[in-house]
Structure 1
């Protein structure tokens, strides 16, 4: 029983000591942990603050970049909307223009305006007069080329503008290659028909000063290229029928050639005028030389008459006057001044040009 009491007492003491030690350990651990947490919190706050200071410029830059990206996106959306509107408007205007060019009257007028613009760009207005829509009557009816361009030496060249666009526009709008090729062949056929019609009209026979050909002007190089691609003999056939196919580039070269011809004509005209002025100047110099020669002969005659008068005065008049003095019939304070004869004569003309015979007025 004593043993059991001791055991119970020991067990109670052990349990109390264990409980006390555990509470002390827990209290110590809690205190240490709280101190560690306090230190960790301060260090973490410092690290967090340092990281915030380090990341803050990057964050601000990212915010600015994000704002800029949003502004760019808004501008892009606005520009895209405006561009879409302009594209739609352009498509509408293109469709309207295409429909307008399908009308024969508007198409022909467009070709005529394009032709006039090409002539003006070439700068030929001051050097080469041109006339539009010149009507010439005839037995088979009146003819009226779109333009008559004057050439040097009184010649002229005839130009007629055509714009075969129906088949070409259909080919441009075709969705399959077969239809496109077929419409381009039709386009080449339309161009050849225009060539044949102009050839049959023989415009050059109605204008006496015209070159024996007519220029068929196509207001777009692509029209000619497409027709020639599907009709390889188009150019040779047109030339055989005295029809010259021209586009803006080739017509511009032709007009520059005309302008060069006018420049040469102007130079020749100036040369003829200079030659006429030279002949007139030569004639006037000849007349002046003839008058100078006549004046010199007159001066020589005047000198001879003066010397003869002096000789006659000295030999026939003065001896009688001296007798008045000898007879004391003359005034004593009046003397007759002596007269000396003139020995010099007018200088004769010696230059061959001044001594030659006068040039006739009709001399070349």
Structure 2
């Protein structure tokens, strides 16, 4: 029986360990996919922005080409009207000349018949001469008519030739514009294909990101990563300026806020990053305006509910060093803006309950202020230590000066004793010694003369060393107003 229980316990523990390992791997995999999706989404957005700028520029060029085409088309229309008018006039002139030619031929025939009828036999002899004269007259009339027709044709050709040249240039220009338009349209089509591909890729990545964010574990991990990135951007260091996932035991059980920021003067700020986003994602994915508004209202309700839960936890009662508020971190400006637009009293109600709503921008500003406070605290602490060290150094120098003064007094006393001994030697001892030599009781060199010492030790004249220190500067104090601690003279006072 005991063996069976041990086996079952081993299987349960092994299954639990395998589940924890698999959960950690899945969470790591989702985190990597989310970061990769964000990177691809940012890259696709950059490409889409560039392609949109290119499309805008090509549209402007296409619009300009269309305007030029419209102007040339109007000009071509005007010139075409003029050409039609000239061709109409030419056709009318040719028709009129043809009618005149027909009239001349008819007149010639009638004239011939008339001459034949009138002349009869009496004019038979003169027929050839008359016909010759009539022919000459008719040839002259035809020559004049043909000359007039040639001049008119030359005048019409002079009018039509510039028009034909203008039409030819216009057709060439139109062909060039059409060629450029086709090339621009081909480039625009390629760009639109790239934009469409980028949009599809972006939509795919966005769909993957939305699917991942709908999972509470992935969404919580993403919020914690965003919070950590924001804190690091504010210039703070882990374990020095902030701590993550701090666990505390309360009467209601264990509580674990996402972040605890250390403040100067041993104070703390508690930050929570667990914000629901399901309703916001539904609002973004909705197609109708009514559905979107309802989803945004649900998003504001979810944010308010989470804010009330944070307020009920009362982190400031468990963290004795924390002020009476907790920071509710919302990892996106759009999430916060959508909630405030749907619920205008969200910020005021949060402040009344001790919950401050913070986005990445406002949290960075708050944390930078905290970091500045830390720097000021460090500067004040260093200034205090420098002041204390200066007081100690000053006191030690004073004690050393007193010892040097005692040494000077000793030297002065030794100098005085030396000079007294020299005087006694010269006045009392040396005369007796010289008499020994004069009487022959001593031999050898003369007793050397001993010179008195005229140099005296230099007197310390500084006011700090010649009088009482307390009488000169009063009771020592530090730069911050604290009383000076007992000076460590390194044992000089006892020497």
* Interval of TM-score (by shorter of Structure 1 and Structure 2): 0.7 to 0.9
CA-to-partner distance for each residue in 1:4-32, whole Å, 9 max, x for gaps?
9x953445456544543465466667778
Show the counterpart of 2:464. Answer: 353
Change (3 A) 1:130 1:300: same
2:457 corresponds to 1:341: no
The superposition leaves residues 282-316 of structure 1 with CA deviations (integer Å, 9 ceiling, x where unpaired) of 12211321222122122212312321331232134
**1:291-346 CA-partner distances (Å, limit 9, x unpaired):** 22122122212312321331232134322332254346545xx5555333233422
Counterparts of 1:1-364 in structure 2 under 5 Å?
7-12=119-124, 16-17=128-129, 19-21=131-133, 23-24=135-136, 33=146, 65-125=177-237, 129-327=241-439, 330=443, 334-356=445-467, 362=486
Deviation at 1:35, TM superposition (A): 12
Q: What is the CA distance between 1:140 and its match in structure 2? A: 3.1
Q: Which moved more, 1:87-96 or 1:58-67?
A: 58-67
Of 231-240 and 192-201, the range deviating more from structure 2? 231-240
Q: CA RMSD in A?
A: 3.9
Deviates more, 1:208-217 or 1:337-346: 337-346
Structure 1 residues 174 and 315, CA gap change in structure 2 (3 angstroms):
same
Contact 2:307–2:328 (Cα < 8 Å) also in 1: yes
Distance 1:75 1:11, change over 3 A: farther
Structure 1's unaligned 5+ residue stretches are none
Give TM-score scaled by structure 2 length: 0.61
CA contact (8 A) 1:127 1:259 kept: no
Kept after mapping to 2: 8 A contact 1:128/1:149: no
Residues 259/15 of structure 1: CA separation in 2 closer, same or farther (3 Å cut): farther
Aligned length: 357
The answer (yes or no) to whether the contact 2:395–2:487 under 8 Å persists in 1 is: no
CA distance in 2, matches of 1:57, 1:292: 112
In 2, Cα distance between equivalents of 1:63 and 1:354:
106
Write out per-residue CA displacement over residues 138-191 of structure 1, whole angstroms, 9 at most, x where no aligned residue. 443321111111111111111001332211222333344433332222222111
> Partner of 2:325: helix, strand, or coil?
strand
Contact 1:134 1:145 in 2 (8 A): yes
| 8 A contact 1:111–1:162 mirrored in 2 | yes
Q: For the residues of structure 2 that align with 1:7 and 1:181, how far apart are their CA atoms?
A: 114
Give the Cα–Cα distance (whole angstroms) in 1 for the partners of residues 297 and 406 of structure 2. Answer: 87
- 1:203-253 CA-to-partner distances (Å, cap 9, x unmatched) read 333334333332111122333333334334433433333222222233223
Q: Which moved more, 1:72-81 or 1:230-239?
A: 230-239
